[in-house]
A = this chain, B = another copy of it.
């Protein structure tokens, strides 16, 4: 492939000038020279080598993203929004999938370090991911879920506890007296906040409705349709099955929806469901799913902005607004 030298030669100038033209700086170039360079470049189909540029300039203009499963639509939508935002800043988003495997997450981190990404965005499988290597090399890292502030990592997230409280309270407002929560596996900060919100809503409800008892139970499941379907199918077959289920991800909510179908239960007449994430698919579920909608675009735009423009020198923890999108799966009237 043609190099800057080839272009310079054909244009009768130096490689420095070719660089100035293609980068619009840092020095000025006379209009005539610029024309000659551009013409030569077009003739030779010149495409600057991004590797050489990155090596020389000391930055790659790339950002790494690690998600647990890119086939999960929430992460797909997230990746899409992040890529749009990165592109708007002329950065490349490198998407890596940890496939639910902690070791693979660690491998991807090392690989990103080797590729000298300018920043990384992480949806971690660990409650306390080891980010010391990034810290050592001064590579900014952003985590897109709750994380213990003591870990010293920046996070951009909605308030899971408040959202879980609202979701549960909404189910309680419908009058359901037996509510299940399908949480994720493990004691991550996210899982703990979901639980805290769930319990807070129950406590408040008990306080306001003396004498009324609501049965509540939490069960864990891997975050996948298949796992949620399996666990919920068994759960809903029990005689004292819950009347409503709060799922901590949409992916699991779809599994619960399926489990209801398997058990011949109507939604919402026999079982109410609320999901979490607000993926586009929830609108087209049968019936449409009520869910906590995350502001994916806003979080994504801010994440990229923080990584490419206003790199914080100490950890930041920004909270974003969520909305409870009411649809028929919880018992609300279809709109």
Residues of A whose CB lies within 8 Å of any CB of B are: 1, 45, 47-52, 54-55, 60, 69-73, 75-77, 79-80, 83-84, 92, 94-97, 99, 110-111, 113-116, 133, 136-137, 225-226, 229, 254-255, 257-258, 261, 280-281, 283-287
A108 CB, nearest partner CB in chain B, Å: 9
**Residue from the set A48, A70, A137, A254 with the largest chain B CB neighbour count within 10 Å:** A70
A101 CB, nearest partner CB in chain B, Å: 11
Return chain B residues, CB-CB under 8 Å to A94. Answer: 92, 94-95
User: Out of B71, B111, B284, which one reaches A258, CB within 8 Å?
Assistant: B284
* Contact, CB under 8 Å: A258 / B280: no
* Contact, CB under 8 Å: B50 / A52: no
25 contacts between A and B (CB under 8 A): A47-B113, A47-B133, A49-B114, A49-B116, A50-B115, A51-B51, A51-B54, A51-B55, A51-B60, A51-B115, A70-B79, A70-B80, A71-B73, A73-B73, A76-B76, A79-B97, A80-B99, A83-B97, A95-B95, A225-B283, A225-B284, A254-B281, A257-B284, A257-B286, A286-B286
A84 closest partner in B (C-beta): B99
- Cα distance A284–B136 in the bound complex, in angstroms: 45
Return chain B residues, CB-CB under 8 Å to A225. Answer: 280-281, 283-284
Decide: A258 near B229, CB < 8 A? Known: A48-B114, A94-B92. no
